[in-house]
Amino acid sequence: MATAYVYDPLYLKHDEPTHPENSRRLEQIMQHLRELGLQKRLRSIDARDATAEEVAAVHRPGYIEEIRAASEGSLGWLDMDTYVGPYSYAAALRAAGGLLQAVEAVFQGQAHNAFALVRPPGHHAVASRAMGFCLFNNVAIAARYALRELKLERVLIVDFDLHHGNGTQDAFYAEPTALYFSTHQYPHYPGTGHYQETGRGAGQGYTVDVPLSAGTGDLGYGRVSDEILVPVARRYQPQLILVSAGYDAHWADPLGGMLLSVSGYASMVRTLVALAEELCQGKLILTLEGGYNLEALAASVAATFAVLLGDEQVEDPLGPARHAEQPVDAVIHAVRRVHGLD
């Protein structure tokens, strides 16, 4: 069965060319997918606008209105690094709705797995505030939709972006219906994501943060996948795996200090595909978050699609990092201990 993607030209209209999170990111991804002949192997899913109600399942109505009103003027700034322009509200609604369409396509059997190539990204956005280039929290909106509309009881959200997805963590911190698992550079923006953040109340134990030192690379991420993510996922038994797919942990990324390669990203996605096949009939849906070196971003997204399609080989035009990796033994030990995996 097919691997699907979601793309909409409206995603390019939220743009500030001097900002790292600009429309060229997505243009480069699409161009690279065409050049490699990957796009024609994929099923295209049309995006739609998320409804006010769907967005309000995660964000306060006053905040949604604030974004709508801010989009009526010329380009402005919601915080030091998050811009909003004339098309931002429309693009943000369609980004969230695009991911919802991907979820629908997989649950209706039109696709086996899917990757929503959306902008603006979402995982930093909290209930009533934009943060870190993010307006609406696409992955949280999709998880909430899967719980409410599809009546799921357990959604696993894996966030391999360089940064901690504070907004996503917040949205489900006190409930067990979504398990949030994140690897991230720590300490780093936005400052959250210590391994002692494990959830609250009924959500205790359903937030799994893996704070990694700058300099963590393919070997370290691979060990975290095998020694933390796999046992956590098997214990949780998700009915769907959603992924905040950020590619700013690549060694060439200008915003981060991690050492992942394209091949390293591909092996993480391979682990996710295997977990989805084992636990939830392959239901794996990714959504684009960060990634700011255009060549590394496009190559990593292409490698991700190749793995989703079942290809044995992926292309890694940038090659491996040229620095030695930081060890991960201490953090793996700490996370396994607080989550009772030992």
Residue 246 touches Zn ion, criterion: CB under 5 A = yes
Out of 15, 49, 248, 253, the residue judged to bind Zn ion by CB under 5 A: 248
Of the pair 42, 301, the CB lying nearest Zn ion is at: 301
Q: How far is the CB of 96 from Zn ion (least distance, A)?
A: 18
Distant-in-sequence contacts of 86-91, Cβ < 8 A, 24+ apart: 86/13, 87/10, 87/13, 87/14, 87/15, 88/14, 88/120, 88/135, 89/135, 90/10, 90/13, 90/49, 91/10, 91/11, 91/13, 91/14, 91/119, 91/120
Residue 291 touches Zn ion, criterion: CB under 5 A = no
Catalytic residue among 124, 184, 188, 250: 124
SS3 78: strand
Stretch that binds Zn ion, among 8-16, 36-44, 198-206, 246-254 (CB under 5 A): 246-254
Residue 163 touches Zn ion, criterion: CB under 5 A = yes
Out of 162, 233, 262, 269, the residue judged to bind Zn ion by CB under 5 A: 162
Stretch that binds Zn ion, among 199-207, 223-231, 287-295, 314-322 (CB under 5 A): 287-295
Out of 21, 161, 170, 197, the residue judged to bind Zn ion by CB under 5 A: 161
Q: Which of residues 31-60 bind Zn ion (CB under 5 A)?
A: none
Q: Which of residues 96-135 bind Zn ion (CB under 5 A)?
A: none
Pairing of strands 76-79, 82-84: antiparallel
Query: Which residue's beta carbon is nearest to the bound Zn ion?
Result: 290
Is residue 230 within 8 Å of 268, Cβ to Cβ? Answer: no
**Beta bridge partner(s), residue 82:** 79
C-alpha 47/C-alpha 267 separation (Å) is: 28
Residue 290 touches Zn ion, criterion: CB under 5 A = yes
C-alpha 269/C-alpha 287 separation (Å) is: 13
Q: How far is the CB of 249 from Zn ion (least distance, A)?
A: 8
Stretch that binds Zn ion, among 6-14, 146-154, 286-294, 302-310 (CB under 5 A): 286-294
Residue 94 touches Zn ion, criterion: CB under 5 A = no
- The length of the chain is 342
Catalytic residue list contains 124: yes
Structure tokens at 335: 């996370």
E strands, the chain, in order: 3-6, 43-45, 76-79, 82-84, 113-116, 155-159, 178-185, 207-212, 240-245, 284-288
Q: How far is the CB of 74 from Zn ion (least distance, A)?
A: 26
Q: Which residues bind Zn ion (CB under 5 A)?
A: 161-163, 246, 248, 290
Active site residues: 124
